[in-house]
């Protein structure tokens, strides 16, 4: 067996084999469609330096690992995005070899730790424990059945909603930066990572990536009476993706505007908009820190139900 780098542009066949290998990792949640998988593996939403290494045996891809090596506020970390071994080749040391390779790469890039998300209770968790990793954060996935969802009539006095599909107009970039940086307030548990900041260039880069990953993106912004941004939320839906899944990602309310029902209002309004606009969709999946009780209370009120729990594991390198 060899461990070799994946050249995304020149090796579409190997990329497809790697994607197939990852098919079950997110079950019972949605499988990542090919364009989204490629985007995440090759560079992520923020064009993060990234590399993928494949375990190849007799010309076949039998395992793989992707590393993101941020060059910004989190240059001390290597993020393992995917690590998987073909079920027919497990318990033969392939996972160990891939992890050792990733650890070596992280170390030579000056990283002090690897972080990796793993489903609770599966082989990944046993593997992480065997490798001396430490659980540093817990996240739950919840699913909303869109057929059962109906948004109640709601207004929050003093605020209005703005609906944006796809990339935001350039005039709104400053507002988007203000809103997205509020995501730094989400609980981190024991995760030793730093706040993310945004610039007009990184916002543009991220929004361009939506097209690369064939994502139809729905954003709702709440504005205060003076026009300033107060809250936002975002839903992603693949174009041509099987399974009827959408993904709920960021939701944030600026500190000065919390406690007035804005978080729930923007989410309900966006979900209702998505349901009207994309009748092909049947369900929405979301991730939250288990400790994020306010966000989870809103999600439960909307009708989201628990699917499973994942932990972030840290390995000092
Ligand atoms: C986790 C995974 C990558 C491990 O790959 P692997 O090639 O089977 O791992 P290794 O053979 O190198 O296992 C190393 C050690 O981890 C532990 N381990 C691995 N799988 C285990 C399992 N299913 N049950 C208990 N212990 C396990 C054992 O201690 C094992 O050593 P041993 O076989 O000598 O007892 C593989 O099971 C997989 O692809 N799972 C699905 C994807 C996933 O969960 N990825 C998360 C990343 S960790």
Question: Tell me: the pLDDT tens digits for 68-77?
Answer: 999 988 999 9
Q: Tell me the two tokens of residue 161.
A: 């909603």
Beta bridge partners of 235: 218, 248
Q: Is 24 in the pocket of ligand 1 (CB under 6 A)?
A: no
Q: pTM (2 decimals)?
A: 0.93
Specify the pLDDT at position 256: 95
C-alpha neighbours within 13 Å on the C-beta side of residue 102: 33
> What is d(CA 252, CA 175) in angstroms, rounded to the nearest whole number?
13
CA of 63 to the centre of ligand 1 (A): 12
What is the mean pLDDT for each group of 10 consecutive residues in the chain (317 residues)? 98 98 91 95 94 98 98 94 96 98 98 97 96 96 97 93 96 95 85 88 94 97 98 96 94 95 97 97 96 92 97 97
Specify the pLDDT at position 188: 82
**Residue 190: burial class (beta carbons within 10 Å; 0-12, 13-18, 19+):** exposed
> What is d(CA 267, CA 232) in angstroms, rounded to the nearest whole number?
8
Specify the pLDDT at position 195: 86
Specify the pLDDT at position 157: 96
Q: Is 126 in the pocket of ligand 1 (CB under 6 A)?
A: yes
Atom 48, ligand 1: residue with shortest CA distance: 124
Q: What structural domains and CATH numbers belong to the chain?
A: 2-111 (3.40.630.30), 143-308 (3.40.630.30)
* 3 state SS of 240: coil
> What is d(CA 127, CA 144) in angstroms, rounded to the nearest whole number?
31
Q: Is 85 in the pocket of ligand 1 (CB under 6 A)?
A: yes
CA of 129 to the centre of ligand 1 (A): 10
B/e letters for 104-138, b = 16+ CB within 10 Å, e = fewer, are: ebbeeeebebbbbbbbeeeebbebbeebebebbbb
Atom 10, ligand 1: residue with shortest CA distance: 93
């Amino acid at each position: 067996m060899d461990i070799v780098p994946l050249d995304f542009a020149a090796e579409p066949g190997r990329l497809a084999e790697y994607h197939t290998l990852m098919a079950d990792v997110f079950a019972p949640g949605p499988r990542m469609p090919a364009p989204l998988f490629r985007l995440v593996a090759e560079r992520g939403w923020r064009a993060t330096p990234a590399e993928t290494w494949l375990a190849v045996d007799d010309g076949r891809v039998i395992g793989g690992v992707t590393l993101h090596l941020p060059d910004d506020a989190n240059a001390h970390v290597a993020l393992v995005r995917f690590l998987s071994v073909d079920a027919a080749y497990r318990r033969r040391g392939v996972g160990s070899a891939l992890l050792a390779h990733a650890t070596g790469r992280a170390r030579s890039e000056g990283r002090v730790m690897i972080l990796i998300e793993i489903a609770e209770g599966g082989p990944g968790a046993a593997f992480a424990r065997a490798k001396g990793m430490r659980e540093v954060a817990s996240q739950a996935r919840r699913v909303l059945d869109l057929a059962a969802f109906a948004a109640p009539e709601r207004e929050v006095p003093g605020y209005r909603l703005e609906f944006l599909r796809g990339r935001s107009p350039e005039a709104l970039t400053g507002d988007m930066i203000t809103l997205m940086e509020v995501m730094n307030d989400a609980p981190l548990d024991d995760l030793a990572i730093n706040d993310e900041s945004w610039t007009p260039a990184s916002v543009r880069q991220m929004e361009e990536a939506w097209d690369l990953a064939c994502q139809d993106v729905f954003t709702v912004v709440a504005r205060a009476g003076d026009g300033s941004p107060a809250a936002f939320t975002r839903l992603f839906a693949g174009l041509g993706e099987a399974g009827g899944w959408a993904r709920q990602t960021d939701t944030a309310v600026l500190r000065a505007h919390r406690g007035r029902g804005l978080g729930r209002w923007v989410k309900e309004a966006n979900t209702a908009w998505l349901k009207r606009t994309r009748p092909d969709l049947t369900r929405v999946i979301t991730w939250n820190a288990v400790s994020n009780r306010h966000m989870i209370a809103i999600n439960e009120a909307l009708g989201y139900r628990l699917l499973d729990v994942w932990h972030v594991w840290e390995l000092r390198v």
